[in-house]
Every structure is written in C-alpha cells, then in structure tokens.
Amino acid sequence: MRLWLAALAAFALYAGGQALAQTNEARTGEPAAVVAQFHDALLDVWKDADKSPAAERFDRLAPAVKQAFDLQRMMRGAAGSSWGKATPEQRVQLVEAFTRYSVATYVDRFDAYDGQTFQTIGTQPVAEDQVLVETRIVQPSAEPVSLTYVMNREADQWRIVDVRYVYEGKAGNEIPRLHGEFRQTLRTGGPDLLVERLNALADQRLAGTGGQ
C-alpha cells in the first residue's frame, strides 16, 4: 500500500462497548464520530480497490470527504495571502478543484488493501471549539503511522481542518505542506493556474498515472 502523507486518513475500529459509544457519538456529531464515519466510507472504498474502477470509487468517496473535511477552510489556509486576492468566482473554483484533488488522491493512494487495521487512540481538547482526534494505522509488516486530526467546530458542526502525521520518524502538518507546494504556482499564475494544476493532478491520479 502506498501511503499518502499529503492528506492521509485513519480509520477507527471499535469493538464491544466502544461500538455502542461510537453510535451514540455519531448522533450528536462528536469529533471522533465524524472521523469514524469518514473512515467507514474510506475503508469500504479501499477494500474494493482491486475490483472497482477509480471513477466509481471517486463517486462513492466524494460525499464522505465533503462531509468530514472543511475543504474551504483548508484551501484558504493552503493558499495563504492569495486567497484574499482571489475573486469570489476564483474561490469557488479553488475549492472545487481542491476537493477533486483531495478525493482523487485518496482513491489513488489507497489502492490495495492488505490487512491493515486502524485505531482511534483518543481525543484531546485544545480550545472550546477545537479538538485533536488521535489515530494510527497499524500495518502487518511496517511501523504504525500516527495521524492526528485537527477538528474545529463551527455552527455546532465538527469538521477536519488539518492533519498532523508521523511516519518513519518524519512529522508534518498537511496545510503548511500544501501551502509550500502551492506557493510557486500561485506566484506564477495566480488562482487560475492553481485550479488548472489541481484538476490536472486529479485527472492523473484517477487515470493511475500519479503526479505529485
């Protein structure tokens, strides 16, 4: 399995009493439940990677990504000061392209299921409207990948706004990493070029030809 450290997700596996707790949390929209619902959808798609075409998996996964992630906030953070200079129409196009890019990357990277398991370790409040959901991917033949989801609450809805990861001794945050990647494109051609670039990368990944 190829791990996507750009926007990697973990899956919560609950057993016994924990399964009941997850169900109750889901009803109230608690942070761990939001993550778990996304994980369930991603796990279903991942297990079907060898028998379902990428376009079909994209369509199945897209609603879950849109539900769990605050994609506009993430795009705004990744674009930095360029977001403030973009027109309302360009902002809409940026979010749409970033959404395609994000979903397509999950589809491309989670391309072979081989017995991995995923665990939710716990939650840690940071502020009144911010919580960290700590998770990890347990792999049969490699060290675990630690993933911490930064979740913000807005209008009583918890959504993911960033992902922190630790893998093979390397740590990082998703939004600062994306900001570094997008910066040169935005300097060269502004929002329009970034929209073009994100859509091109999404197309490449859905076609199985990769891209950064």
Kindly report, residue by residue over 53-85, the tens digit of the pLDDT: 999 999 999 999 999 999 999 999 999 999 999
Give the model's confidence band at 137: pLDDT under 50 very low, under 70 low, under 90 confident, else very high: confident
| 195, 95 contact by CB (below 8 A) | no
Residue 19 has pLDDT above 90, yes or no: no
In this prediction, residue 113 carries a pLDDT of 86
Residue 9 to residues 52, 57, 153, 194: CA-CA distances in angstroms? 20, 16, 19, 24
Give the model's confidence band at 212: pLDDT under 50 very low, under 70 low, under 90 confident, else very high: low
One-letter amino acid for residue 22 of the chain: Q
| 167, 138 contact by CB (below 8 A) | no
Mean pLDDT of the chain: 86
User: Do the domain assignments include residue 34?
Assistant: yes
**Looking at per-residue confidence, does 15 or 36 come out higher?**
36
How far is 174 from 102, CA to CA, in rounded Å? 12
User: Do the domain assignments include residue 184?
Assistant: yes
Q: What is the CATH number of the domain that holds 35?
A: 3.10.450.710
User: Do the domain assignments include residue 160?
Assistant: yes
Residue 30's CB: how many other CB atoms inside 10 A?
19
- Which residue matches tokens 């169900």? 23
Side by side, which strands form the sheet with 142-154? 117-127, 130-139, 142-154, 157-167, 170-173
User: Do the domain assignments include residue 147?
Assistant: yes
Over range 29-47, report the average pLDDT: 89
Q: Which domain holds residue 74?
A: 17-202
User: Do the domain assignments include residue 207?
Assistant: no
User: Do the domain assignments include residue 10?
Assistant: no
User: Do the domain assignments include residue 51?
Assistant: yes
First to last CA, the chain: 17
Encoded tokens for 35 = 């993550």
